Each structure stands twice: as C-alpha cells, then as structure tokens.
C-alpha cells in the first residue's frame, strides 16, 4: 500500500447537500473539534434543483482532508463529498475596492493601473467609486497594494468558488444513488475505497 503524502497544502472540499437548517453549524464543528482553520467557505445552489453545494478551503495533509471529508459525508443531509488540490479545480474569488472618485478623475495613472488589473467600476459616486475584479488570491491582493498609495478606503473579498476540472457534474452520481437498491454494500464499499471516485475527481 502506498504511503499517503504528509505535506500540507490547500485543498478544496466540495459537498453536495440538502438545504437543511443547522447543517452549516454541524459541518463547522467537525473542523473546530480538530482545530482546523477554514480559510474560505462558500455555499450556493448547485446545478440540481434543491441541492446545495459547499466549497470549503483548508490547508492540511491529504490524510487529514480525507478523514474530514468522510466525517462530513456521514451527515444525514450530505449526499456526496469530494476533495481536490488547487491544480484539480478552476477557482476564482471576487473582490471590491472603494477608492476616492477625485483620485480616479485626476490621476490617469490610477485608471491605467485598474485597467491593467482587470478592474471595472460597478458604482460611481461623487465621493467614491467601487471597482470589482475577479481572480486568484495573489491577483486580488496585488490590486490592494496598487491602490493603497492612492487612498484605498475599503476592501472586501468573497469566498472562493470552484469547479472540479474532471467532474461530469453531480447528475450522474445522483442517478446512481436513485437506481441503487437500498443496502447495496458492495457498491458503497467500492466508492469509499476509490481515491478517484468519491473523494476526488
């Protein structure tokens, strides 16, 4: 049996769930009991009506992430859990930047820097302008550094959203669940033992 990697790195945990009150709190407790910091958490509707999708980012070893994923999947409302490295997903974060409008109007340099960083104005007022951009953490952080000298008033960044590169969507897996007979232990064991099946795609 090959030894699991012990190097800590960022992992994206994706959980498909029913939308029940209290589930988020129970999932958070799983991490807090192990003293694992959640670096980003996003929940949103999925491609299937009535099914929600959690995206949780943590920095841990694969062994720990695998254990956490199994614990989350034991929750009654959780249908499936996957985990992936950053290389295995396509991910983005959105950020908003509030800067004084007079600085933008008076300094062409600021406007050029915003354009070079892919920022677009979403609100323009006499006293301030709000710009929006999307990208990876280092990209949105870079724009903070760019705007600081020009009086950056406020900054906020969203949680990460991610799509698994190799995923065929959750529809096929849901169909398998619906077609499987209750108590089909063989199929369940095959899923649990498959690194590229249940927990990673």
Domain with residue 103: its CATH number is: 3.30.70.1150
In a domain, 140, yes or no: yes
Domain containing 35 equals 9-89+165-192
In a domain, 198, yes or no: no
In a domain, 103, yes or no: yes
**E strand or H helix that includes residue 173:** helix 171-179
Query: Which CATH number does the domain housing residue 51 bear?
Result: 3.30.70.260
- Mean pLDDT within 113-130: 92
The total domain count for the chain is: 2
Examine the domain organization and report whether 13 and 83 are in the same domain. Answer: yes
In the beta sheet, which residues pair with residue 131? 97, 121
Kindly report, residue by residue over 80-120, the tens digit of the pLDDT: 999 999 999 999 999 999 999 998 877 788 888 888 999 99
pLDDT, residue 120, reads 92
Q: Above 90 in pLDDT, residue 8?
A: yes
Examine the domain organization and report whether 31 and 59 are in the same domain. Answer: yes
Beta strands in 101-160 (DSSP E): 120-124, 128-135, 154-157
Q: Above 60 in pLDDT, residue 182?
A: no
Least confident of 106-120, 133-147, 160-174, 177-191: 177-191
In a domain, 2, yes or no: no
Examine the domain organization and report whether 95 and 149 are in the same domain. Answer: yes
Confidence of residue 19 (pLDDT cuts 50, 70, 90): confident
Query: Within 10 A of 150 (CB to CB), how many other CB atoms are there?
Result: 15
Q: Above 90 in pLDDT, residue 153?
A: yes
Examine the domain organization and report whether 83 and 96 are in the same domain. Answer: no
Least confident of 55-59, 63-67, 164-168: 164-168
Examine the domain organization and report whether 143 and 176 are in the same domain. Answer: no
Query: Within 10 A of 52 (CB to CB), how many other CB atoms are there?
Result: 19
Q: How far, in Å, CA of 94 to CA of 82, rounded?
A: 23
Quote the mean pLDDT of the chain.
86
Q: Above 50 in pLDDT, residue 197?
A: no
Examine the domain organization and report whether 13 and 84 are in the same domain. Answer: yes
Q: Above 70 in pLDDT, residue 180?
A: no
Examine the domain organization and report whether 83 and 173 are in the same domain. Answer: yes
In a domain, 65, yes or no: yes
In a domain, 55, yes or no: yes
Which region holds residue 78: left if phi is over 0, alpha if psi is between -120 and 50, else beta?
beta
Examine the domain organization and report whether 66 and 118 are in the same domain. Answer: no
- The residue among 154 and 187 whose pLDDT is bigger is 154
Examine the domain organization and report whether 64 and 126 are in the same domain. Answer: no
Beta strands in 9-65 (DSSP E): 9-18, 40-45, 51-60
Examine the domain organization and report whether 14 and 72 are in the same domain. Answer: yes
Distance of CA 5 to the CA centre of its chain: 22
Examine the domain organization and report whether 109 and 65 are in the same domain. Answer: no
Predicted TM-score (pTM) above 0.85: no
Examine the domain organization and report whether 54 and 69 are in the same domain. Answer: yes
């Amino acid at each position: 049996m090959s030894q699991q990697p012990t190097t800590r790195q960022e992992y994206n945990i994706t959980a498909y769930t029913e939308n029940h009150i209290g589930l988020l709190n129970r999932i958070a407790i799983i991490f807090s009991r192990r003293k694992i910091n959640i670096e980003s958490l996003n929940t949103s509707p999925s491609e299937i009506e009535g099914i929600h999708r959690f995206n949780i980012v943590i920095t841990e070893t694969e062994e720990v992430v695998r254990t956490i994923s199994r614990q989350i999947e034991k929750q009654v409302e959780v249908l499936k859990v996957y985990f992936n490295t950053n290389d295995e997903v396509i991910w983005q974060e959105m950020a908003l930047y509030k800067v004084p409008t007079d600085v933008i109007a008076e300094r062409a340099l600021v406007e050029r820097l915003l354009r070079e960083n892919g920022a677009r104005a979403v609100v323009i007022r006499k006293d301030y302008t709000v710009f929006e951009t999307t990208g990876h953490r280092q990209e949105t952080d870079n724009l903070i550094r760019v705007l600081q000298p020009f009086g950056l008033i406020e900054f906020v960044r969203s949680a990460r959203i991610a799509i698994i590169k190799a995923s065929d969507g959750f529809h096929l897996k849901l169909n398998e669940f619906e077609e499987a007979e209750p108590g089909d232990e063989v199929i369940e064991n095959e899923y649990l033992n498959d690194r590229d099946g249940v927990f990673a795609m």
